[in-house]
A and B are shown apart, each in its own frame.
Chain A
């Protein structure tokens, strides 16, 4: 057992020595792998956020918002809607209130003459299946109704955005991943080639195959680990600095706050996933290089 542990420690030492001997190539590999992981991490964070938004919106299937045209009297509209027995509740947000909310959120003082916000009636029906027929009817009131916001429509739009983001992220990650794989593979292969005589000597001395291959695979694992740590730190920094602005965007576009930013727990999960992917990725390319060059 002690002998095994000593060998393990020495394999670690050999891997460290190997990295030291790889010089500037370490920086290239780690930079590219880190970039891959950052793109992948941002994609994951977006995915988590959009999923949460979609889930929240789907939870509001019994609710829709009617943005009224200028000149429409909200009270007469309320009376008109009250005639439908499926309407259980209505809430009016006047254009002044909406304007104040926007100014407060953006933290800027705008002239009230610029207010283009509509009066909005948020209507709740008793059952989700009652929403669509009512929306269909209300949508026909062209004079009074400017626009209707209904969650499932937004969910569909969000899903399109999410899918596009995932596609784009996957494409960019794929390109970077391929570049990392090739560079890591080539670096390990170059190191093996440049040390061919030495490695042959070790073989002839009776050094076991895994003692020769182990440091190279470990070198790959270390690349993955270091890249993931740097990428994780970068993501946390982005998270801290961008959170405030992100929230503003969410508020502007969807009227949603706080809830949809990945929580600490979710961010930790993203970082763990990145670390695992980084390690798997770089160690597998190292493993492949050693299998190709050191199997005999």
Chain B
């Protein structure tokens, strides 16, 4: 569960990134966060994983007020992160990239093998576990990124423009993969994107406005406007 109460983010130079943003995402829900560039999508995600501090308001993840946390690593171990530029470790192969966080947590090799193979199986890359990231296509790299995020079985998954570097076909496959993961693993997901085709997935969509830096639309699947389908 993710909750934001009147969250504001203002930079030192006075620029406002978010203004009075409030939202509630129940456990296990998949939500797309859309909006133009500069609307504050990434800022909102960064606030959730504590890469940025908010100026005022309150943020709760799983009923924990994150502004009161002294050790961010505990919070971050409960969040899976997916980035637009994949951010894979190029000196490690696919398996080791996914296994890295488990090794850092002191998991046994048996446990690592079981969990990494499970995660790679979910994203369909089990047969490519020995490949180096630079030998993979963009779509495959993002799948590795997703496997790395889900391998710790986090209750929350945040993705910042996960298809920003992908072609339309691969983008759709990645969105489909997110949907499958959400249905199988019941993770709460917040995915920032500016891809209008997310309407096709019939999931909740929250739109941030670049003009107001506020939520201007919050639509449940049943209330999705028709234009989303028309765009496909």
Chain A 189-207 near chain B by CB (<8 Å), digits 1 or 0: 0000000011001111111
A3 contacts the other chain (Cβ, under 8 Å)?
A: yes
B79: chain A residues within 8 A (beta carbon):
206
**Residues of A in contact with B (beta carbons under 8 Å apart):** 2-4, 6-7, 10, 17, 21, 197-198, 201-209, 211
A197: chain B residues within 8 A (beta carbon):
87
Contact B51 A2 (CB under 8 A): no
- The smallest C-beta distance from B190 to any residue of chain A, in angstroms, reads 15
**Which has the most chain A C-beta neighbours within 10 Å: B75, B78, B81, B105?**
B105
The 3 nearest A-B residue pairs measured at CB? A206-B77, A206-B76, A3-B106
- The smallest C-beta distance from A150 to any residue of chain B, in angstroms, reads 69
Contact for B104 among A2, A21, A204, A211, CB less than 8 A = A211
A201: chain B residues within 8 A (beta carbon):
87, 89
Contact B108 A6 (CB under 8 A): yes
B91 contacts the other chain (Cβ, under 8 Å)?
A: yes
B76: chain A residues within 8 A (beta carbon):
203-206
* Interface residue total, chain B, C-beta cutoff 8 A: 24
Contact for A7 among B73, B104, B152, CB less than 8 A = B104
| Inter-chain pairs besides A205-B104, A206-B76, 13 sampled, C-beta below 8 Å | A2-B106, A7-B106, A10-B103, A17-B91, A21-B91, A198-B87, A202-B104, A203-B76, A205-B101, A206-B78, A206-B101, A207-B73, A209-B73
B175 contacts the other chain (Cβ, under 8 Å)?
A: no
Contact B49 A207 (CB under 8 A): no
CA distance A230 to B76 in the complex (A): 43
Contact B91 A206 (CB under 8 A): no
- The smallest C-beta distance from B184 to any residue of chain A, in angstroms, reads 22
A selection of 5 A-B contacts at a CB cut-off of 8 Å is: A10-B103, A17-B91, A198-B87, A205-B76, A205-B77
B103: chain A residues within 8 A (beta carbon):
6, 10
- The smallest C-beta distance from A147 to any residue of chain B, in angstroms, reads 72
Q: Nearest residue in B to A3 (C-beta to C-beta)?
A: B106
A206: chain B residues within 8 A (beta carbon):
73-79, 101, 152
Contact B91 A10 (CB under 8 A): no
Known: A10-B103, A198-B89, A209-B73. A204 touches B49 (CB 8 A): yes
A-facing residues in B86-100 (Cβ within 8 Å): 87, 89, 91, 100
Q: Nearest residue in A to B81 (C-beta to C-beta)?
A: A204
Contact A207 B104 (CB under 8 A): yes
Contact B108 A204 (CB under 8 A): no
